Amino acid sequence: MRRGNEIYIVGFAQTPVRKSLEGTFLDLAGRVSIEAIRKSGIPREDIEGILITHEGFGNFVNAQLFAPRLAAHLGIETKLLGTYECGGMSSAGAVKIAATEIMTGRMDTCLIIGVELKPMLLDDPVFDQTSLADRHAGTYGPYESLCGVTGPLPFYAMSQQRWMITHRICPEDIAYLPVLLRRNASGNPMAQFRDPITIDDVLDSRVICPPIRLLECCARSEGAAAVILASKDVTRQLGGKRINIRGFGEAHDATNYFPARGDAARFPCVRRAAHEAYEVAGITPKDLDVVEIYGAFAGTEIMTYEEMGFFERGTAAQAVREGKTAIDGELPVNPSGGRLSLGHPAGATPLLEIIEVCAQLREEAEGRQVNGPQLGLIQAEHGMVNGSVVLIMEGEA
């Protein structure tokens, strides 16, 4: 990074992503924390901060004061402790806060944990709250919730509808992406969906919210992940291939879900966050070797590639079709299988993206390894892409 101390990712651990996992929040958070600490080689007493994140929409029991509870459970005395929440990008936001504290020199190490135990999309718990009063107080705003909105899907559908009409994108163009992501996931034992699918499978799957089909949707998943950041001084004493955080960016639009004004098929926050990260790292998208994009729905994922500057506006679907984002393509995107096939435990998703890029840069991603990558990136978002975080990472010998 240009300003302040260098930051490294020195340890990480995750559970498989599955429809449901054995164990409670504390069980899963404890398990990934201990594994990440062990892998990092940092003595437990040297961990100086703990930040946790949980699913933004869920109102699960015991969310309050969970960070102190976990710190007590792990027996770690800290200089930074808390929960960070801003929808789907939460755990990436937590990583950014931890990185900033290390940059200032205030601390040298931090453990970041994300856990998801509750299904989020397509089977929202709010779905069963049929009284208008319950729905009025819902996540999707008083006006939309009263009209029966119980999940973000209709907003994504209306955004994608505009994009498809403006750029004459046909359903066949979009259907390539879920097939590609499933092929990537077939090499990832952590992924929830590993059986191959075809273009016809995607096109024949049920239209849930026009124009979005079932196989273009992320899965509801459970999962947990932990990442440990450290300063250069601490990292120097550890073995293994070091992953340097080269830069980051963050931007939020003054919108929540569907924008009331402006073009609903554009994600300006993604553009701003990406440009900030590129500038700080001193790179362009052409320099990237491997990327994980949040992409909760196939159409939105392709639109995000364009906002990230990977492809010209209106051309990303064609690029995916031509294999440019495949593992052996010019810019491999979501080798993990992405949200569509790895699965989407929202509270943990940004950490899972970071872990996949770290595994790729360390050339440990057996079964889906990109050829010799040096520079990687992750992007995460919240709402209907109303805000975004971008992190750029580099593998060092």
Partner 1 sequence: MTVTRSKALWRAIEKNGDKAMAIFFEGLQQRRFLVTRCRSCDTLHFPPRAFCPDCLSEDVEPEEHSGKGEVYSFTTMAQPSSRGNPITVAMVNLEGVEGRVFSRVKLPCEEMTIGMNVEVDYIELDGIVLHCFRPRAKGP
- If binding is defined by CB under 8 A, does position 139 make contact with partner 1? no
Query: Which residue, among 226, 221, 252, 244, has the nearest Cα to 380 in the 3D structure?
Result: 252
Distance CA 392, CA 196 (A): 30
Distance CA 342, CA 295 (A): 11
Distance CA 1, CA 85 (A): 25
Helix 25-40 / helix 66-74 crossing angle, nearest 10 deg: 50
- If binding is defined by CB under 8 A, does position 157 make contact with partner 1? yes
- If binding is defined by CB under 8 A, does position 146 make contact with partner 1? yes
Displacement of CA 239 from its chain's centroid (Å): 27
The minimum distance between CB 219 and partner 1, in angstroms, equals 18
DSSP string, 172-196: HHHHHHHHHHHHHHTT-TT-S--S-
- If binding is defined by CB under 8 A, does position 113 make contact with partner 1? no
> Which of 147, 170, 366, 367 touches partner 1 by CB under 8 A?
147
Q: Of the ranges 62-70, 154-162, 343-351, 352-360, which one interacts with partner 1 (CB under 8 A)?
A: 154-162
Q: Is the separation of the CB atoms in 45 and 111 below 8 Å?
A: no
Residues numbered 212 to 241 that lie near partner 1 (CB under 8 A) are 212
- For partner 1, which is the closer residue by CB, 38 or 162? 162
Q: Of the ranges 66-74, 195-203, 259-267, 360-368, which one interacts with partner 1 (CB under 8 A)?
A: 259-267
- For partner 1, which is the closer residue by CB, 157 or 177? 157
Query: Tokens standing for 329?
Result: 């393509």
- If binding is defined by CB under 8 A, does position 150 make contact with partner 1? yes
- If binding is defined by CB under 8 A, does position 255 make contact with partner 1? no
- If binding is defined by CB under 8 A, does position 381 make contact with partner 1? no
The minimum distance between CB 150 and partner 1, in angstroms, equals 5
Please give the angle made by the CA atoms of 225, 231 and 232, to the nearest 5 degrees.
Answer: 125
Residues that bind partner 1 (CB under 8 A): 127, 129-133, 135-137, 142-144, 146-150, 153-154, 157-159, 161-162, 165, 209-212, 258-261, 264
